[in-house]
Amino acid sequence: MSTKAQFHEVVHAPTRLRICGLLRRAEELEFSVIRDALELSDANLSKNLAVLANAGLVSVRKEASEKRSDARRLTWVALTGAGREVVEQHLAALRAIAG
């Protein structure tokens, strides 16, 4: 079954497209891994994750770290089921445009 090609404005923004591309191949990633891999500031990543989360495309969860002695928690990010579908549809639309 082929993926329906559908352009998605929220995913199309360059930073959000890069975030979704990275998350596409993982079950979930920790915030700092995404930040470092994409060379983003904390603020830029947070802002773009908020847009994706508000659109229902990613889930964000906080978890205590056994390796930390302070109260800070790790932030884990994952594409939702709907998010995975939207990303695949958007990539199919980009392939159709490029083709």
Name all domains of the chain by residue range, CATH numbers in brackets. 9-98 (1.10.10.10)
Q: Each residue of 54-86: pLDDT tens digit?
A: 999 999 999 887 765 666 789 999 999 999 999
Which pTM was predicted?
0.89
Other beta carbons less than 10 A from residue 88's beta carbon: 17
Measured CA to CA, the distance from residue 87 to residue 25 in angstroms comes to 11
Amino acid in position 74: L
Q: Each residue of 7-57: pLDDT tens digit?
A: 999 999 999 999 999 999 999 999 999 999 999 999 999 999 999 999 999
